[in-house]
Amino acid sequence: MNEDSQQASQAERQQQLADELDRLQELHRASEGNRVLGRMRAFGTSYQVFLGNHADLRGFLDHIAAPMVNVQMWNERHRYRLHYALDEVARLLHNYVSAVISLVEATRRFVRTHYAGTHLFKEYERRVKSDFADAPLHRFLQDLRNYSLHYRLPAMTAVTSLRRREDGGVDFDNAFKLNVNTLKEWDGWKAKARAYLETLGSEADLRNIIDDYEPVVTNFQEWLSERIVEEHSEAVRDLYDLEARMNQVERDWRISRGDSQVLQEETPHESSREPLVETSSKSDTSDFATIDDLIATFYESTSFPLGGVPNLDRFRSLFVSNAQLVKVETDRSYQWTLDGYIGDFHATLAEGSTLAVSEMEVGRRINKYGKIAHVVSTSMVHSIESERTRHARGFHSLHLVEDGGRWFITSMLWGTIEVVTDPVAADPASEVEDDAASEARATAEGRACNPRTAKK
């Protein structure tokens, strides 16, 4: 009888907690704070669409600027690739300027619908006037959208530049530029937009334009979000208190049903996180101040002439202390800690099996988001070993993080693409003339010819 009474009491307790949880969930759905955050999430989609179109356009411009892509695109036998690139840039730019105006209209409608007549609305109008209405760059993008939708797609020029460095390597750059003189022929430019056009010269690099505009939009959207939360601070605070109460009731309900996982989830866990620190005190800050600096140092530190040794302490300084290193080979892959890898490198040198290494980057692709980046770098490796001379094409996949004014490598994945019997013919840089610089152009008026109909 006592056991039956306890079971009945436990069942009653479970039901009470379930009813309380239902009541709190209903309050949550009906709360002002939930409505405010829900509106913000829905409105935030327009900002995410803008960021996505910015990333697509900027990412493609970075992709076609990569050395190996650059060389292939300008090869006469593959000129259809250039036509495709011009078409793709035109498409992405069309989407970008459309997203710019879509975000402007969505923001205006959102603020007017919910905050007209408030102090926040007055602050919003002042900020819009200074950041956008009076800003020549924004007015130019606004009119560029009208130009693209109601007149024609902008004429663009593709320009590639090749520069041979003192160390024998080659720097490539491939830029898509707006033909400013052709843009000026349209009579639909407003005064501020036309004034901006006058500052551009005859051509304007798309990368510079969108890179100047993105932080303006991001700063404004972050300010607006923070200001809206501040405007509804009491309602949002009440919502968070309600959510805390819901979590507690749900916890009690799960325990009443014998859910042991609840207690496991609440077991105190001591954080193992620690700030990033230098892995070597013998490091020059110029080795890793930028991504370019870090990649250059990466290859320099592991290359060494016959009779010399690599600078492995300099190599170590590029990594976080617990970095993971993985090498991909034909049969399987292998992993090292940073210390283990450097130890094995020393052992190889001591054995005399590797006498000299010269590794030069020939291609790179970077995806960067704030303080994190992913770099895929391809290279030509020439090594003198105890019984042979070896030439190969390799790759390094590096994950980077910026901290304390410098870049760190957090992980490295690398391997050999192919062993090359004729390293000169396999090196894209070998197609570059020995002149100090060369430049080529291809201009597309509006959309370039269809790549499927272009002659190969």
Is residue 93 within 8 Å of residue 57, measured between CB atoms?
A: yes
Query: Number of helices (H) and strands (E), helices first, in the chain?
Result: 15, 10
Rounded CA gap, 143 and 150, in Å?
10
Residue type at position 122: K
What is the helix (H) or strand (E) element at residue 324, kind and residue range?
strand 319-328
> 110: which 2 tokens?
């959102």
**Residue 440 confidence class, pLDDT cut points 50, 70, 90:** very low
46 vs 452, higher pLDDT: 46
Supply the mean pLDDT for the chain.
84
Q: State yes or no: pLDDT of 233 exceeds 90.
A: yes
Condensed to tens digits (0 to 9), the pLDDT of residues 106-129 reads 999 999 999 999 999 999 999 999
Whole-number Å distance between alpha carbons of 394 and 399 = 17
pLDDT attached to residue 424: 39
Q: Which pLDDT band holds residue 447 (cuts at 50, 70, 90)?
A: very low
Distance CA 448, CA 441 (A): 14
> Cβ(34)–Cβ(28) under 8 Å?
yes
Extract the tokens encoding 19.
């009813």
State yes or no: pLDDT of 279 exceeds 80: no
> Is-contact 371 408, C-beta < 8 A?
no
Task: Give me Rg for the CA atoms of the chain.
Answer: 30
- Residue 8 belongs to what H/E stretch? helix 2-30
Residue 15 to residue 17: CA distance in whole angstroms: 5
Side-by-side strand order, sheet with 203-205: 203-205, 170-179, 156-164, 437-444
Q: Is the pLDDT of residue 409 over 80?
A: yes
Say what angle helices 32-65 and 233-256 make with each other, to 10 degrees: 100
Q: Which of 198-212, 281-295, 348-362 has the lowest mean pLDDT?
A: 281-295
